[in-house]
Amino acid sequence: MINASVSVIALHEKGRVAKETYEAVDFARELSKDRPGIVVLSGEEEAERVSRELAEKTGLDVVCLSGSMLGEYSAEAYRKTLLSFFRNKGDVCICIPHTSEGSDFAPQLSVGLKACCITSVEGIGEGVFFRSMFGGKFRAEIRPERNSLVLTVIPGASRQQVGVPDLPGAVKVIPLADMAVSTRTQGFREAEHADMALAKAEVIVSAGRGIGRPENLSLIEKLSSLFPKSAIGATRGVCDLGWLGYTHQIGSTGNTVAPKLYLACGISGAIQHVAGMKDSQLIVAINTDVHAAIFRTAHYCIVEDLSTFIPLLIDIHLKRGG
C-alpha cells in the first residue's frame, strides 16, 4: 500500500466501459489504504450514464470531466484535462489500464505531473511493482523514487471482483469549457472484415514464435483440423512477422477468448497474450523451454518440440479412428 491518493482513469468507448477499467479498479483497491476514486473523461452525451454505471458496479465515488473535446479519444486533450485536475492535489497515484490508449497518454501525463511512470504493471510487492520482461522470461521489481506515480496496469493483473456493492458511489460531473488543442480525433474506422471464428470456437490452437518458421503453421492447421469447432490463434509476434493476419491475434491488444480447450504451441507466455486467453477452461501448453512463463498458466505442460509432438498426437488420434 502507498500513502498517496489513488485514482483510476476509466477508459470507455461508445458508452461502454472497458473491462480493463474494472480490473484497474481492483488493482487500485489492493494499492490504496483508503477507497480509490475514479475519474472519467467523456463527451456531454454519455457523461452521466457512464459515471452512474461505474459508481453502481464499483461502489466508488466517480468524478466525470465532461467536454465536447473529450467525446473522442485524444492524447493531447486527455493530458491537458488530467494535468489541470491533478496538478494541485499533492501526491497522487494514478492507475490507467494498459490499453493502446492508456499506454499512449500515461507517459505524457507523468512528465507533466513530474511523477514516476511505470508501465505494464502486473503485481504489487513491499514498496515495489512487478512487470514482465523479455516475453515473460524475467520479472522485474521496480521501486519508485518519487511519491507521485502514474501506472499502467496490464490486463489480467487483477481479476474483476464478482458481485454488486451494497451502495453505489457518489457521482460528480464537472462540465469543462472547450480548450485549444493542436489535434482532434475525426472518428474511428472499423475493420471491414471481422473474423468471428475465434469467438465461436470451442477449441483454439494458437501459434507463437516458438514454432520456429512459417512452414510449421501446417502442423498447427493439421492439429486444429482434428476438432470440429476449432480455430487458429496467434501471438502478436507471429502476426507482426506476417505469418498470420491480425484477425488471429489473441491478447490484450487482440482478441479475448475463453474456449473449452486452448492449445498453446511455441508460446512463451507473455502476460499480454495470457490476458487474452486466461479464462479458457483447459489450457495445454507445448514448449521446449521448461521455464517458459506459459507453464505458470497452463493446466497441462508438455516439454517437447512441437514438430515431434504434434505429428505423434495426430497419428495416435487417427489410429484410434478420430
Answer whether 5-175 and 197-319 agree in fold. yes
DSSP code at position 211: G
Distance CA 202, CA 192 (A): 25
Look at residue 37 in the predicted model and tell me its pLDDT: 96
Q: What is the pLDDT of residues 80-111, one digit of tens each?
A: 999 999 998 999 999 999 988 999 999 999 99
Question: Mean of the pLDDT values across residues 71-75?
Answer: 89
Report the distance separating Cα 235 and Cα 80, nearest Å. 35
pLDDT of residue 190: 61
- Which residue matches cell numbers 507523468? 110
92: Cα separation from own chain's centroid: 23
Average the pLDDT over 144-156 and give the result.
91
Phi-psi map region of 230: left, alpha, beta (phi>0 left; psi -120 to 50 alpha): beta
Q: How far apart are CA 197 and CA 145, in angstroms?
A: 47
CA angle, residues 133, 135, 141, in degrees to nearest 5: 20
Cell matching residue 229: 469447432
**Dihedral (C-alpha) 267, 273, 279, 283: value to the nearest 10 degrees?**
0
What are 293's three cell numbers? 512463463
Q: Which residues pair with 301 in a beta bridge?
A: 285
Dist CA 201 CA 87 (whole Å) = 48
- Is residue 232 within 8 Å of residue 204, measured between CB atoms? yes
User: Crossing angle of helices 47-58/19-31, nearest 10°?
Assistant: 50
Angstrom distance (rounded) from CA 65 to CA 81: 8
| Measured distance CA(185)–CA(322) in Å, rounded | 53
* Span 132-148, average pLDDT: 84
Indicate the average pLDDT of the chain: 89
- Tell me the average pLDDT across 37-46: 93
pLDDT score recorded for residue 255:
86
- What pLDDT score was predicted for residue 194? 47
CATH class of 5-175: alpha beta
Q: What does the alpha-carbon distance between residue 203 and residue 210 come to, in Å, rounded to a whole number?
A: 20
Looking up cell 493502446, which residue turns up? 100
Strand partners, 188: none
Q: Compute the average pLDDT of residues 187-196.
A: 58
What DSSP line would sit under 275-292, residue for residue? TTTTT-SEEEEEES-TT-
The answer to whether the beta carbons of residues 163 and 57 sit under 8 Å apart is no
Question: What pLDDT sits at residue 239?
Answer: 93
The CATH classification of domain 197-319, taken from the options 3.50.50.60, 3.40.50.1370, 3.40.50.1220, 3.30.70.890: 3.40.50.1220
Is 41 a residue whose pLDDT tops 70? yes
Q: Give the position of cell 493530458.
A: 79
| High-pLDDT (> 90) share of the chain, % | 63
State the alpha helices, DSSP H only, in the chain: 19-31, 47-58, 75-86, 102-113, 197-200, 217-224, 236-240, 271-274, 306-319
Question: What is the domain partition of the chain in residue ranges?
Answer: 5-175, 197-319
Residues 6+ apart with CB under 8 A from 68: 43, 44, 178
Least confident of 33-42, 153-162, 179-188, 286-295: 153-162
- The percentage of residues in the chain with a pLDDT greater than 70, rounded to a whole number, is 93
* Residue 90 CB neighbours (<10 A): 9
